[in-house]
Amino acid sequence: MTKTYSPPFVITPGIVADVAEIAEHLGRSAVAAESAGALRLRRVNRIRTIHGSLAIEGNTLSEQQITAILEGKPVIAPPSEIQEVRNALLAYEHFPAWNPASEEDLLAAHALLMTGLVERPGAYRHGGVGVMSGDHVVHMAPPADRVAILMGDLFAWLGRAEVHPLIASCVFHYEFEFIHPFEDGNGRLGRLWQTLILSRWNPLLADLPVESIIHAHQQDYYRALAESNAEGASTLFVEFMLGVIREALMSSTEQATEQGTEQAGEQVLNLLARMGEGDYSAKALMALTGLSHRPTFLYDYLHPALAGGWLELTRPETPKSPKQGYRLTPSGRQLVLALRQHDGGDLRVRPDE
């Protein structure tokens, strides 16, 4: 291999369509990053991600047990499995500081993920390694003396790759698993690094529960790797992973919609659904809902909508201004859009009593 090595793959019409669909869905799914609901959903997705990735590797701890470890509560389980969870939680704390094109950062990530689990965490393997399926070797990784060269070539490609980050992340993931550079921990680190690459393209993807979808399609995941190995190109694996990302994105959006619906309540949803773009006075909002009792409007509709982050003041510097107005926030618009899409384009609202 040379310094200008490029991993073999073909950009098929299906890959182009998947990239376009994922990008479009991300554009529609942008929500206010600081909303309480978004913060809670990110925490849930982080736990789902860790559970899915470790479950693929045989860890038996449940999402509830992982949550307990995160909260510092005692958990009765094999010490090695608890160590795996603690390592993963620690790795995700360092996640924002890593550069996906840095080989040094990847080695640091492996050290965090595998501390207490292997003899040489954070160091490339010195011996041969194969991927087993039962009693059969399904992939024999390149010799250990080639690992540093191959990883250097892979990072050099990633640093100059001109393909869409969605595609580049999948190709890197496949090539990483093909090289299998570490004694152990290759699967969880390869998946983590793909997420890191994706997150630098779009931060919304940092906590997308891709791992839980892979876990649900674990045999298909291994099959896509094996078939790509047989073809000598990562095309089939790229197609598979883009489908996983799309499914994870849809699942996360549905969760956000359900969570937003539960938090908002029927009165707030009815108010938001009647609003369009632009500013409204309190009187205009009351007219939209058909309410004449101001206290009911304030305490059941307006105040909860403001507290939930779905509405904002037009004059935040003077909250009691007689000219005060209200408008939808980005998360308010997203909630209405998601609900309309969920209901086939028609968010049905009931007349308020």
Question: 180 an active-site residue?
Answer: yes
211 and 327 belong to one structural domain: no
235 and 95 belong to one structural domain: yes
- CATH of residue 194's domain is 1.10.3290.10
Domain C-terminal end among 238, 255, 272: 255
Residue for token digits 């206290």? 295
pLDDT for res 1: 44
Annotated catalytic residue: which of 51, 110, 173, 180? 180
pLDDT for res 154: 97
Residue from 176, 205, 187, 180 nearest 26 by CA: 205
Identify whether 5 is part of a domain: no
85 and 108 belong to one structural domain: yes
Identify whether 349 is part of a domain: no
Report residues of the chain scoring pLDDT below 70: 1-3, 28-41, 132-134, 137, 253-264, 338-353
Domain C-terminal end among 228, 255, 282: 255
Is residue 128 annotated as involved in ligand binding? no
Is residue 190 annotated as involved in ligand binding? yes
d(C-alpha 62, C-alpha 76), whole Å? 12
Identify whether 352 is part of a domain: no
Identify whether 4 is part of a domain: no
Q: Report the Cα 196 to chain-centroid distance in Å.
A: 10
Is residue 191 annotated as involved in ligand binding? yes
Is residue 221 annotated as involved in ligand binding? yes
Task: Check if the beta carbon of residue 331 is closer than 8 Å to that of residue 32.
Answer: yes
pLDDT for res 342: 58
Task: Check if the beta carbon of residue 47 is closer than 8 Å to that of residue 32.
Answer: no
pLDDT tens, position by position, 125-137: 999 887 766 677 6
Domain C-terminal end among 222, 255, 288: 255
User: What's the length of the chain?
Assistant: 353
61 and 161 belong to one structural domain: yes
100 and 199 belong to one structural domain: yes
Question: Structure pTM?
Answer: 0.74
Overall number of domains in the chain: 2
Task: Return mean pLDDT, the chain.
Answer: 86
Identify whether 250 is part of a domain: yes
221 and 200 belong to one structural domain: yes
pLDDT tens, position by position, 298-343: 888 888 888 777 889 999 888 889 899 999 988 788 777 766 665 5
Is residue 186 annotated as involved in ligand binding? yes
- CATH of residue 319's domain is 1.10.10.10
What range defines the domain where residue 205 resides?
13-255
